[in-house]
Chains A and B, each alone.
Chain A
C-alpha cells in the first residue's frame, strides 16, 4: 500500500484491538495487491494525486481530504473513499475476533 492508502485505512478502521487493526490492514493490503492491474494502477494514481493535494495543505488534513472526496460531484472521486471504506468495513466485520459471521 502507498503511504496515503495506509493512512486512509488507519483512519477508517474503528477497531481498537491492535491485533484486529493489523489483520484489517493486512487484508486490505492483500486485496489491493490482488486487484487487476488496470484497476490497481488507477487507485494508485489517485493516491499519488491526493497525497500531493494533502501535502499542499498546512496542516496536512486527511479528514478534510476524505470529506471533500465524499462530497465530490464526480463519482470517480467519490469511489476512492468508498473503496477503502468497503474494504475496511468488510475486513473489520469478517476478522473480528470471536465475531459470528
Chain B
C-alpha cells in the first residue's frame, strides 16, 4: 500500500475540482488532485467519436436515470472531467437565478454582482470567445428559423481560443486550470478511484483509494489529508459521500435538463464538425432550443428513434442535423449508492407538466426547423410521425408520453446543494458538509437547480467563490 500525505485532497478534476485545485495551490496550500479516469493528451481524440466515448466518458456514455420515462445521460471521466467532452458553451449564471437562489437558500456573497466578479476572474484564465467570422451552417439555421418566426436567438460564446487562421481549441480544464494548478505545485494523480473517505470523530482525515496501473495491476493507496474537497459531479459526489457514511441531505434533489431531439433533413448539405453555438432563447429559461453533436452515428440514431424507415434519409445523411429542446423540470431525482454495486442508482421523476413542456418544446423546435428550411423532421419518439409541413406538427403534442419518448441530458446538478439552513441542503452556504469538519463539496452538486443553460460557468464561478472563502477562513 502506498501512503500519500497532503493538506488538501481534491476528488475529481473537472470544472469544480480544477478550479479548487488551482486556487488553493496558488495560495501555497499543498494540494493533491485524484481523478478516477485517465489522462488523455488534449486534442488526441476525435470529438464525439467512439474512441473518445470509450476513453473519456463514464460507462462509455451509456448511463441512464431510471424513471418513467428513463433519461439517458453522459458524464466525463478523465483528467479535466466533463469539460473535456462538452461543447464548451459558456453562460454565466443568469442574474434572476442568482437572486432567487440567494434568497431561497440564504446564501451570502451570492449577488449577481459578486458572482460576476468571480466569473470575470475565471474568464481571465479560460478564454471565452464567439466564433470568428460566420457561424457554421448548422448553427446559423437556428438563428434563421428564429428570425423567420420573430423569436429571439443568441449566438453564445464558448470556452474556445482561436488562432489567426480561425482554428479553435476548446479551453478545457486540462488546458487551463490544471496546468496552472500543477505549476503552483499541485499533484494530479489519474486512474485512481476513491473508495471511501476516512471520517473519524466528526472530522475527515483522508481517503482510501485504489490506483490502476497500465499493466492492469491495482494498488491500494492510503491518502492522509486535513481537508477534502469532493468534486466528482452531481452523481459521483453524493455516491462517495453516501459510501463514506454521510447521508443527510446527500443525493436528493438531483436536477437535470430533460431533452428531446429532432433529426432535421435539409435540401442541401449541413456541416457536421461542430456543435451549434446559437440557441433560441425566446422561451428561456423553461425551454431552450439548440443543436447537438451530429456525427453520422448520431444522425442515424436520431433518425431511427421514430421507428420510421430511415434508409433514404441516411443516404443523404449529410443533409441531416440533430437539434433539441431542453426544459427545466418541476421535480427531481435521487442518487443512491447501493452496497455491492460499483455505480450508484440514479432515478428521476418527471411530472405531467414536464411532459407538456417537452411536447411544447418539441413543437416549437419543429416550427423553427421548418421555418429554417427543413423538409423532413424525425422526432425522438417511438412511432412519432415524420413531419414535413407545419400543419402536421400538432400530432406531436399527444405523442410525447411516458412510454414512447426517448429523452437524454448532459447536465446534472443539485444533488447536494448549499444553504445556510441545514434543513434545506447537504452543505452550508460555502459547500462545507454539515457536521463533518474539513469536508467540502465544490462542484455541480451545489447548484440549487438546473440553470436552464450550460452549467460549466456557474460551476466554476461558485467553486472559485467557495475556494476563496476557504482560504479566508482556514
Contacts and interface: CB of A to CB of B under 8 A. Distances in A.
A79 B107 CA distance: 43
Residue among A85, A94, A99 having the largest count of chain B Cβ atoms under 10 Å: A94
B301 A94 contact: no
B331 interface: no
B300 A90 contact: yes
A85 B304 contact: yes
Contacts of B135: none
Chain B: number of interface residues, binned into ranges: 20 to 34
Contact of B343 (A38, A94, A99, A101): A38
A78 B404 CA distance: 10
Given A75-B69, A86-B301, A36 B63 contact: yes
Nearest to B299: A93
20 contacts: A31-B60, A35-B59, A35-B63, A36-B59, A36-B63, A37-B343, A38-B66, A38-B341, A39-B64, A75-B402, A82-B382, A85-B304, A89-B297, A93-B297, A93-B300, A94-B295, A94-B297, A95-B50, A101-B46, A101-B296
Contacts of B382: 78, 82
B62 A34 contact: yes
A82 B50 CA distance: 19
A94 B47 CA distance: 13
Nearest to B317: A93
Which size class do A's interface residues fall under?
20 to 34
B295 A89 contact: no
A35 B338 contact: no
Given A36-B343, A89-B301, A93-B296, A75 B404 contact: yes
A34 B301 contact: no
A30 interface: yes
A36 B342 CA distance: 8
B69 to A, nearest CB: 7
A16 B296 CA distance: 19
B255 to A, nearest CB: 19
Interface in B1-58: 46, 49-50, 54
Given A39-B62, A86-B304, A93-B300, 6 more contacts: A31-B60, A36-B64, A37-B341, A38-B66, A89-B304, A93-B299
B50 A94 contact: yes
Most chain B CB inside 10 Å of its own CB: which residue of A79, A85, A93: A93
Contacts of B298: 90
A78 B342 CA distance: 27
A99 to B, nearest CB: 7
Interface in A11-29: 27
B62 A94 contact: no
B436 interface: no
Contacts of A34: 54, 59-60, 62
B403 interface: yes
Interface string B204-233: 000000000000000000000000000000
Contacts of B295: 94, 101
B385 interface: no
Contact of A101 (B64, B66, B297, B404): B297
Contacts of A85: 304
Interface in B374-427: 382, 402-404
Contacts of A91: 50, 297
B297 A90 contact: yes
Contacts of B301: 86, 89-90
B156 to A, nearest CB: 26
B345 A38 contact: yes
Contacts of B318: 100
Contacts of B46: 101
A35 B341 CA distance: 12
Contact of A75 (B54, B299, B300, B403): B403
A36 B70 CA distance: 14
